[in-house]
Amino acid sequence: MPGRPDGVSRVEPTSAWPALRGIAYGGDYNPEQWPRETWRDDVRLMREAGVTLVSVGIFSWALLEPAEGEFDFAWLDEVIDLLHENGIRVDLGTPTASPPAWFFAAHPDARVIDRDGRVMGFGSRGMASHSAPAYREAIVRIASALAARYADHPAVVLWHVHNEYGVPVGEDYSAHSVAAFRTWLRERYGNLEALNAAWGTAFWGQRYTAWEHVGAPAIAPSVVNPAQRLDFARFTDAQLRACFRAERDAIRAHATQPITTNFMANQSWTTDLWKWAAEVDVVSDDSYPWAADPENEIGLAMASDLTRSVAGGAPWILMEHSTSAVNWQPRNVAKRPGEMARNSLAHFGRGADAVLFFQWRASRSGAEKFHSAMLPHAGTSSRVWREVVQLGADLGKLAEVQGSRVVADAAILWDFESAWAQDLEWRPSVELDHKERTRAYYERLWRDRITVDFALPTHDLAQYPLVIAPAQYLLTARGAANLERYVAGGGTLVVSYFAAVVDEHDRVHEGGYGAPLATALGLRVEEFLPLREGEVTTVAYGGAELTADAWQEHLVLEGAEVRGVHQGGPAAGGPAVTRHSHGRGHAWYVSTRLDPAGLAAVMADVYADAGLAPADAPEGVELVTRRGPDTDYLVAVNHRDTPARIPATGRELLADAPVEGALELPGGAVAVVRTPHGATGDTAS
Ligand code: GAL
């Protein structure tokens, strides 16, 4: 993988995938929370459940290095040897998400300070400043010591650096962070004039005359310069990655196993996962959908698709999810019977070649004692345990799917920098939440079973018949030129409102909003016309009346044809939805917030332009195809209680039964059908 800094003597990874055959199964294992007698019981039960891979040591720093520079590996030796004797492989963590008490006693300046100026206390996790020199030194010391000791242990197949960078601590306003921010800015801008220009410091008299005056965008009486905040978000991401790189390179100096760190695709907005994916040997992700969402399978799918996309389509590791309830949401709804398997196999369907949980055995003490586990407090006489054992057996039947790749039909743009910029204060309306529109478009495609890859505006998009830009507020000239080329080359592009408004410094593009896309879209936006809270309007679209709210714009057409007309609100009588033929392709612009039915109506016409057709299956059935060298695998998940019948032919791997023409999928069930190439209806290659 790219991104390795030069000049470090190190060994190369032997492979990008843990040396495991089949779909890995297991979870975080925290034996230090239990007496030794329990460990033997653990491995016996792990074998019973079909566990093949466990993550060890993620929060063990205080035990491994009880005093600065003094190490105690005896217990870990014992645990890893025991796992090895039982054929269970180890994903070895570096414990750097939670430094020991002695570290903070020695280095009180290494504590994180939040935007409001509060110094973070001890007794939790994620308390250390990623910019503190003492922290940097300490993480390299512990990572090196672990790597030197376990590099050659045959059980260790993967390294797991830190835990969920950016959660719970991303931004840090400590003195170390401010100093590092200045250094980062100097490297980025070279001189103060360039910084003043990029941040537009002529506004509100912010102009800087000395680097020492430049600070982090801490809380202030009014809104802080958005360009400064955007750069601080970029800097924060870069600092976290620098910490990862420091540990990774310390490990790599000794060890050949692949190295990863667990992302949080559905929660973290601090880390630019496109950049992170280039740093790891294999992508891994933690998945915790919002339990109260009655259709949380959609959010789960979206996070999986993003994870796979940042991995460049390669198989990835589901590093954590939950067997049942989590412990940190307002109402921790327990998973219903069968839901864990549906969740697990939905991730698998979207490219995960490992299904792991937080955690193996439910804790007795501590902040997470009410979090579900593979082995619950109730023990083995429990529904959860029985389902865990069943899932292990099922995954064992899916070994041949390992390494196959998901077939995607369309792309949605997902740009962290644009999201960071868009979600700052003082935008034209509080309704302009980038996640809301991204989810709305994703959801439409999910319901139509059009599998999505995520992409950046600068990516090569030619392979996708359809590209959607649901929230591309920030668009660089390069990104805009790429999107224009995509359309000219025959693609179908859909752009949602408030797009291409600013450049990389959050400076408004001149010449009308969306000017960089004017050629592709055949229009410009003269004025934003946000609606009042609760104001609902309609759009005449074909013979239909679509419902919309929140947002309108005054469009000036430069060649686009009008497909939908506002029937009320400040833009009444003006265009709401347009389509422009450009080169060999078409660009659609949707300048209002359509409700789901309205979006469905527009997208049906968009699909026709793109030559896409929704797959044939009852509502609530998720269908994804993974493609291997010789065969396709249709993964079908029925999220409803009612049975479904799906056209398919081949062999169903879980029941090991033939499927001739139709797959009968009971309510709540999952099936994986091996079919000839192309027989799943997914013809994209
Ligand atoms: C994850 C974290 C785990 C555990 C889990 C609980 O975000 O990595 O350590 O806290 O959440 O849901």
Ligand 1 proximity of 371 Cβ (cutoff 6 Å): yes
The percent of residues in the chain predicted with pLDDT above 90, rounded, is: 94
Tokens encoding 135:
């922290």
Residue 313: pLDDT band (50, 70, 90) is very high
| Atom 11, ligand 1: residue with shortest CA distance | 358
| Shared-domain flag, residues 557 and 657 | no
The angle subtended at Cα 117 by Cα 116 and Cα 121, nearest 5°, is 110
- pLDDT recorded at residue 5: 35
Q: Given the structure tokens 């016309």, which residue do they identify?
A: 529
CATH of the domain at 452: 3.40.50.880
Asked, for residue 18, whether it belongs to a domain, the answer is: no
Residues 639 and 579 in one domain: no
Instruction: Tell me how far CA of residue 283 lies from CA of 224, 319, 622, 625, in angstroms.
Output: 35, 9, 23, 20
Q: Give me the active site residues, please.
A: 164, 320
In what helix (H) or strand (E) does residue 539 lie, and over which residues does it extend?
strand 536-541
CATH of the domain at 45: 3.20.20.80
Return the pLDDT at 10: 44
In the structure encoding, which two tokens stand for residue 3, read together? 């991104």
pLDDT at 229: 98
163 close to ligand 1 (CB < 6 Angstrom):
yes
Write out the H or E segment, with its range, that includes residue 302.
Answer: helix 296-310
Amino acid identity at 380: T
* Cα–Cα distance measured from residue 356 to residue 446, given in angstroms and rounded to the nearest whole number: 24
The residue nearest atom 12 of ligand 1, judged by CA position, is: 326
- Taking the centre of ligand 1 as the mean of its atom positions, its distance from the CA of residue 64, in whole angstroms, is 21
Residues 6+ positions from 45 with CB-CB distance below 8 Å: 375, 380
Same domain, 353 and 497: no
Is the per-residue pLDDT at 683 higher than 60? no
Neighbours of 124 (CB within 10 A): 11
Longest alpha-carbon distance in the chain? 76
Q: Which atom of ligand 1 is nearest to the CA of 264?
A: 7
Structure tokens belonging to residue 62: 């205080």
User: Dihedral of CA 626/627/628/633: which sign?
Assistant: positive
Residues with Cβ < 8 Å from 419, sequence gap 6 or more? 269, 434, 435, 471
Q: Phi and psi of 40, rounded to 5°? A: -65, -40
Predicted local distance difference test score (pLDDT) of residue 677 = 84
Ligand 1: which of 56, 163, 340 to mutate, judged by most atoms within 8 Å of the beta carbon?
A: 163
pLDDT exceeds cutoff 50 at 619: yes
Query: pLDDT, tens digit, for every residue of 193-218?
Result: 999 999 999 999 999 999 999 999 99
Across the range 373-395, mean pLDDT stands at 98
How far, CA to CA in Å, does 565 sit from each of 543, 568, 571, 605? 11, 9, 9, 16
DSSP-derived 3-state class of residue 288: coil
Separation between Cα atoms, residue 8 and residue 65, nearest integer Å: 25
Within a domain: 121: yes
Q: Please state, in angstroms and as integers, the Cα–Cα distance from residue 157 to each residue in 132, 142, 259, following that order.
A: 31, 19, 9
542-570 confidence digits (pLDDT tens): 999 999 999 999 999 999 999 999 999 99
* 231-248 pLDDT, tens digit each: 999 999 999 999 999 999
562 membership: H or E segment, kind and range: strand 561-566
Summarised one tens digit per residue, pLDDT across range 422-474 is 999 999 999 999 999 999 999 999 999 999 999 999 999 999 999 999 999 99
Range of the domain at 606: 410-610
Give the three-class secondary structure for 124.
coil
Q: Look up the CATH number of the domain holding residue 646.
A: 2.60.40.1180
One domain for residues 34 and 157: yes
Does 243 fall in a domain? no
Distance from Cα 535 to the centre of ligand 1, integer Å: 40
The tokens for 90 are 């180890």
Alpha-carbon span 282 to 39, nearest angstrom:
29
Residues 217, 229 contacting (CB under 8 angstroms): yes
Residue among 358, 361, 370, 372 whose CB has most ligand 1 atoms within 8 A, to mutate:
358
Ligand 1, atom 4, lies closest to the CA of 358
Distance 28 CA to ligand 1 centre (A): 9
The answer on 448 and 306 residing in a single domain is no
- Three-point CA angle 552, 303, 644, nearest 5°: 95
If asked whether residues 396 and 423 sit together in one domain, one would say: no
Percentage of residues of the chain with pLDDT beyond 70: 97
Report if residue 178 sits inside a domain: no
Residue 192 lies inside a defined structural domain of this protein: no
Question: 494 and 354 share a domain?
Answer: no
Looking at ligand 1, which atom is closest to the CA of residue 58? 9
pLDDT higher than 80, residue 180: yes
Q: What is the distance between the alpha carbons of residues 224 and 19, in angstroms, rounded to a whole number?
A: 49
Confidence of residue 305 (pLDDT cuts 50, 70, 90): very high
368 lines ligand 1 (CB under 6 A): yes
- The alpha carbon dihedral of 306, 457, 188, 278 has a sign of positive
Radius of gyration for the chain, computed over Cα atoms and rounded to the nearest angstrom: 26
pLDDT of res. 1: 32
* pLDDT over threshold 50, residue 685: no
- 94 within 8 A of 160, measured Cβ to Cβ: yes
At residue 19 the predicted structure's pLDDT band, cuts being 50, 70 and 90, is confident
Give the count of domains, the chain.
Answer: 3
| Gap from CA of 328 to ligand 1 centroid (Å) | 9
Last residue of a domain, one of 378, 401, 424: 401
- Cβ contact 327:370 at 8 Å: yes
Asked if residue 561 and residue 427 are part of one domain, the reply reads yes
Looking at the structure, do residues 303 and 372 belong to the same domain, yes or no? yes
Return d(Cα 235, Cα 180) in angstroms, integer: 9
Please identify, among 610, 642, 665, the residue that sits at the C-terminal boundary of a domain: 610
Tokens in use for 366? 């501590």
Average pLDDT over the chain, rounded to an integer: 95
Tokens of 42: 């653990």
Residues 346 and 433 in one domain: no
Mean pLDDT of 402-416: 97
What is the number of residues in the chain?
685
Would you give the DSSP letter of residue 284? Answer: E
pLDDT bracket for residue 266 (50, 70, 90): confident
353 and 485 in a single domain? The answer is no
Q: How far is the CA of 358 from the centre of ligand 1 (A)?
A: 6
Q: Give the whole-angstrom CA distance, residue 93 versus residue 433.
A: 35
Strand 466-469 with 410-413, pairing: parallel
Residue 521 lies in a domain: yes
480 and 470 Cβ atoms separated by less than 8 Å? no
The last residue of one of the domains, among 383, 401, 419, is 401
Report yes or no on 213 lying in a domain: no
Give 18's pLDDT tier (boundaries 50, 70, 90). confident
CA atoms within 13 A of residue 596's CA, in its CB half-sphere: 10
Same domain as 393, residue 275 = yes
**How many angstroms separate the CA atoms of 405 and 382, rounded?**
35
Give the SS3 label for residue 50.
Answer: coil
The answer to the question of residue 248 being in a domain is: no
Residue nearest ligand 1's atom 10 by CA: 368
Is 261's pLDDT higher than 90?
yes
